[in-house]
Structure 1
């Protein structure tokens, strides 16, 4: 068994291991393909499938994700003949396989025999089976059956030449978490005993003196099930943490079985920003267990700037991957089936979406799924091969995308960089801070961690400045500028780390409703913004959330919406003040010197224009430069670098042709640029050029230091 693929240094990653096996004679290729579910179709279609896969340039497919009921039709009875034939056929046609252990959806016989394995809602209603992922993570029956199936699959296919990667489960936490069953209650109590050690410590952390909630025995503690009014917020927060850990235990157990047989990389597919309290998975913790970080992403069709949300999610995924290449495991060729209005993608949109992910660090673009289903809940979800066959817009664009990804093979293994040769800006996204900010009984339902995070990412996106996502406790010393959007919860360690970052010369932007509580969701007393008041040089005494649709004039940067605060600057310079309303005269935007650095406070939500003006000031202070100056509206640029070569991805999401001041060769057309790049509306280009070397280090070396562990 060869476990060298787990040595995932930035220049020797598990993703490199995979891409090297996708090309001929070990030449790296970007991954292209998607979920392949041959069991849903007559076997006579399989030959056509692989023929069309070869026509499209497919080189990697995920197999077996939802096939438990066929692989184990009754308890302890396994049937692998059909899967043997599928894997042999794919191998004979040069198509590699990401093989699933099929544990995502137990079959009906299992749920019928073990009804106690089904999850329970907060209202005490036990789910039935008949959809997918009908199990509780705490169920010993589920864990035993999942381990047995994983053992059978891993042992049987550990040496199959088609297999290059293992796929554990599918989208953990989707549809069946959180679970409030008695099994989850017992697991939650064990988790709490390990976390706190004593009931006294738990009572202190949960603030149970409030509303007479003090616990005198561990058995009294339950999950935060439905009650008469608001349930203890720290109890809710801890239950989200527990639920993530409980699922992670399932993953680790199955991954360990696979690793005992095979040295191929192991992954499971994440779900981007879709990880709130209703789907509690802390991907920062989970990423430590992944050989390859992979992610699923689907556009919200009615979001007019969904391409920017895609970019933010791709950047976040790269953060979980510590800057190394990652894999886009799923996205859609066109419409999905689960939104209120499942709008088809416009011509060229699939190509733009796919290259956005690649531009931001993905070493491949996979889809759900190969053939659009003709039965079941997802029959209206688009596929690479649509219902209408090959004489279609989708198929022609699939073939074009396959050709495009082949032409970009040289990009594999490269890392995302900025104008200085590294990414200079980090946006903080702590899972605990997001979860806690989404709890009930807060000052304003309009204050959203995700929305504020996206506003700041969008401002950098519009300016052509690349961003990483990091945690508050990470080593941030490699960044010139760090932004903390609505960092409602901050641990003592996180607050100390950010303070040290600024005093050592960094630039930190903190927005409203930040630093308010500690890791137990207890208010930090003294003044707002709590943990950051001294660093920011402000003393805010009262929140004044705004009504829906209301705004207040500011003395600079336009108007503020959603939020403003009553208070004063202590040592900070006021860049803009509130001009009207009960908080008139209070600071809205400030700048404070601390040590060798500067810290900024933004006590309201700025409109895109005002935020852009502020970004100009902050970036000038921090010495942050865009990839392209005066970037046209709705044009996206991102850069990847390796061994002294840059690839600048240019994607025009707008309706107008533009010209960009870039020199080099357009890899997609082979055209040598003369006097700049002309980029037609809706089109893409990838410009290869020689990288500007940093003093004493290469771009790839500098990015490694940018993503070192704290």
Structure 2
């Protein structure tokens, strides 16, 4: 077994040698050494090459490439190769195929064409995992196991009869009986009362809206079903390859919300994720930062792995833009700034054929004699110098709460506005903090919130009593707490908390909301101190609560819009924002909240468009400065710049699109 690279920032990516003739393999290893590549993820989509027929295994090719990688000093994150079944398996067992909400079978011909609960698929996947673990546990190139790939990217949710059976079993474990389920689902409405477990189906296409709690529980079940699959393969690895770390690549992108990764992290030894820039987003760089902070939150603040991103264009957007020259380095360092200690790309060599042949790679179609490969070579040199910060952690005194189950509930049927994305407030506040040079951990409500000076509760529609109490405890311990509109509305069964919104946080905030007034996309409302967007509410400030801003127009004119309730003694204040202020208004409000919390930017006077974070190991700190503008920027700082490999005395000059990582004096 090879140790994971720790004396360098680990650099690498997905390697698919089965796509190439063997003479290319030696060239690949030599180019990897040239670019300071220290790891590869191997065999992710190789099932049909490893087992071309049932029970007939061909390992010679994998033996050969593992030996070559080991000789080249490359650590291997070896996949169980179970992400996509080979054609012979789905042909022999079409019952493994997933079914969509309308009852249509999703046929093979792409990838991940398997039902999350199929016992047949699991049997074959576990058998292959067993073969690989037995054969390669002692191989000196093996440094980590990579289970499956991007769970739920294409095959969730599945609505087949097998999933229906497993869903009923899952419900029987969750609820003590049908009476309890009927109460939780509110089946007194629309005559939905169940009198036998066999009557319950997945929330397939129906005449109109499905029961919201039924839909929510199916999302919970679906996430758990794939987690059981991960655990089944993990159990084989623990049995036959003990001591080798295990991971699977999460997808902490904005648009991927199928799995409750908070429940998944205990099953992996290392948290890893994939991230790709989505150009269609209004603020793609801010989304990258949010994703990194979320991944760090899932890792409990520990360093994490970026398993995949792209050197340049992807292949799945309407227009696949190439990255600017220099952006390959800057994007990689943006993830390191958020806590990544491993930087991987999809993929090593750009494919000649297949659906991803125009997806960029480390070695592009043009070959190693290309600007993009030379940029990776330069990053390889930088990665060697950045080895000293491996294991350090990102400093943050701000928490933003993120709960996948609350997101699922807020995206359920029949909400006050189907136009309002569940992460609108979270990402707007995170972006405003990011622009101010203030780092935030994006964490689950079960995290230790008393460790923070500011806790932001953005659109936390569904919240348990326990998590609401944790927020109140953070305020009692001295943290400033900022709660936004549409928070604390329902309990874990998606039952509305009665007595006025924001239910779970009403007493903490000292406000009572009687009715929502959604504004819709592009809608605005005048405030006494600016403007609000997307949403508004009829707020009453209770005794002891200060009104900081009111609505200045419309049906709510004169009503409170932003409030603050001071805490007793050393307790922090609780702020409520019943709309989403426009950028300028939100910035002013956050300046007041940050001042009350005693939270300052990482760097004072940061130029607009320059991103900054700080990592520390307790004795040494490293300051990250990333220039996202097209102009040179100057930042006051001292230390040694590991990117430029030069000392900095008083000022660091950032070239357009440039970056610096300073070991600070």
CA gap 1:19/1:390 in 2 versus in 1, 3 angstroms: closer
What is the CA–CA distance in structure 1 between the aligned matches of 2:150 and 2:522, rounded to whole Å? 36
What is the CA–CA distance in structure 2 between the aligned matches of 1:473 and 1:160, rounded to whole Å? 40
Q: CA deviation at 1:391?
A: 2.3
The one of 498, 505, 523 equivalent to 2:471 is 498
What is the CA–CA distance in structure 2 between the aligned matches of 1:661 and 1:678, rounded to whole Å? 9
Where does residue 371 of structure 1 map in the other structure? 349
Where does residue 440 of structure 1 map in the other structure? 413
Greater Cα shift, 472-481 or 288-297: 472-481
Pair 1:662-2:637 in alignment: yes
Pair 1:30-2:2 in alignment: no
What is the CA–CA distance in structure 2 between the aligned matches of 1:251 and 1:165, rounded to whole Å? 15
Pair 1:272-2:247 in alignment: no
- Cα pair 2:523 2:534 within 8 Å, conserved: yes
Aligned length: 661
- Cα pair 1:275 1:281 within 8 Å, conserved: no
What is the CA–CA distance in structure 1 between the aligned matches of 2:538 and 2:644, rounded to whole Å? 57
Where does residue 86 of structure 2 map in the other structure? 107
Where does residue 19 of structure 1 map in the other structure? 5
Pair 1:319-2:297 in alignment: yes
Q: CA deviation at 1:390?
A: 1.9
Q: CA deviation at 1:440?
A: 1.9
Where does residue 162 of structure 2 map in the other structure? 183
Q: CA deviation at 1:670?
A: 3.0
The one of 482, 489, 493 equivalent to 1:509 is 482
- Equivalent positions of 1:543-692 (< 5 A) are 543-556=516-529, 558-570=530-542, 571-595=544-568, 596-690=571-665
Where does residue 99 of structure 2 map in the other structure? 120
Q: CA deviation at 1:616?
A: 0.5
Where 1:663 maps in the other structure, the secondary structure is strand
Greater Cα shift, 466-475 or 163-172: 466-475
- Cα pair 2:254 2:287 within 8 Å, conserved: no
What is the CA–CA distance in structure 2 between the aligned matches of 1:674 and 1:170, rounded to whole Å? 46
What is the CA–CA distance in structure 1 between the aligned matches of 2:111 and 2:520, rounded to whole Å? 41
Cα-Cα RMSD: 1.3
Q: CA deviation at 1:57?
A: 1.0
Pair 1:251-2:223 in alignment: no
Where 1:178 maps in the other structure, the secondary structure is coil
> TM-score by structure 1 length?
0.92
CA gap 1:73/1:179 in 2 versus in 1, 3 angstroms: same
- Cα pair 1:495 1:532 within 8 Å, conserved: yes
The one of 45, 53, 56 equivalent to 2:24 is 45
Where does residue 328 of structure 1 map in the other structure? 306
What is the CA–CA distance in structure 2 between the aligned matches of 1:181 and 1:391, rounded to whole Å? 50
What is the CA–CA distance in structure 2 between the aligned matches of 1:667 and 1:509, rounded to whole Å? 37
- Cα pair 2:488 2:505 within 8 Å, conserved: yes
- Cα pair 1:31 1:60 within 8 Å, conserved: yes
- Equivalent positions of 1:407-486 (< 5 A) are 407-417=385-395, 423-486=396-459
What is the CA–CA distance in structure 1 between the aligned matches of 2:195 and 2:261, rounded to whole Å? 34
CA gap 1:511/1:568 in 2 versus in 1, 3 angstroms: same
- Cα pair 1:119 1:127 within 8 Å, conserved: yes
Where 1:597 maps in the other structure, the secondary structure is coil
Where does residue 166 of structure 1 map in the other structure? 145
Superposed CA offset, 1:272-295 (max 9, x none): 04575xx52110110111100000
Where 1:541 maps in the other structure, the secondary structure is strand
CA gap 1:288/1:344 in 2 versus in 1, 3 angstroms: same
Q: CA deviation at 1:73?
A: 0.6
What is the CA–CA distance in structure 2 between the aligned matches of 1:32 and 1:241, rounded to whole Å? 35
The one of 289, 295, 298 equivalent to 2:273 is 295
Q: CA deviation at 1:139?
A: 0.5
The one of 154, 157, 162 equivalent to 2:133 is 154
Q: CA deviation at 1:642?
A: 1.3
- Cα pair 2:481 2:574 within 8 Å, conserved: yes
Where does residue 350 of structure 1 map in the other structure? 328
> TM-score by structure 2 length?
0.98
What is the CA–CA distance in structure 1 between the aligned matches of 2:31 and 2:253, rounded to whole Å? 34
What is the CA–CA distance in structure 1 between the aligned matches of 2:262 and 2:237, rounded to whole Å? 22
The one of 468, 493, 496 equivalent to 1:520 is 493
Superposed CA offset, 1:23-68 (max 9, x none): xxxxx22111100000011111111111111111111001100000
What is the CA–CA distance in structure 2 between the aligned matches of 1:331 and 1:528, rounded to whole Å? 41
Where does residue 285 of structure 2 map in the other structure? 307
What is the CA–CA distance in structure 2 between the aligned matches of 1:203 and 1:445, rounded to whole Å? 26
Where 2:554 maps in the other structure, the secondary structure is coil
Where 2:218 maps in the other structure, the secondary structure is helix
- Equivalent positions of 1:227-238 (< 5 A) are 227-238=206-217
- Cα pair 1:138 1:187 within 8 Å, conserved: yes
Where does residue 189 of structure 2 map in the other structure? 210
Q: CA deviation at 1:218?
A: 0.2
Pair 1:387-2:369 in alignment: no
Where 1:328 maps in the other structure, the secondary structure is strand
What is the CA–CA distance in structure 1 between the aligned matches of 2:240 and 2:623, rounded to whole Å? 41
What is the CA–CA distance in structure 2 between the aligned matches of 1:567 and 1:202, rounded to whole Å? 34
Where 1:373 maps in the other structure, the secondary structure is coil
What is the CA–CA distance in structure 2 between the aligned matches of 1:91 and 1:501, rounded to whole Å? 50
What is the CA–CA distance in structure 1 between the aligned matches of 2:432 and 2:68, rounded to whole Å? 48
- Cα pair 1:19 1:412 within 8 Å, conserved: no
Greater Cα shift, 354-363 or 258-267: 258-267
Runs (5+) with no aligned partner, structure 2: none
- Cα pair 2:254 2:291 within 8 Å, conserved: no
What is the CA–CA distance in structure 2 between the aligned matches of 1:371 and 1:383, rounded to whole Å? 6
Where does residue 420 of structure 1 map in the other structure? none
Q: CA deviation at 1:547?
A: 4.0
Runs (5+) with no aligned partner, structure 1: 6-16, 21-27, 418-422, 691-710
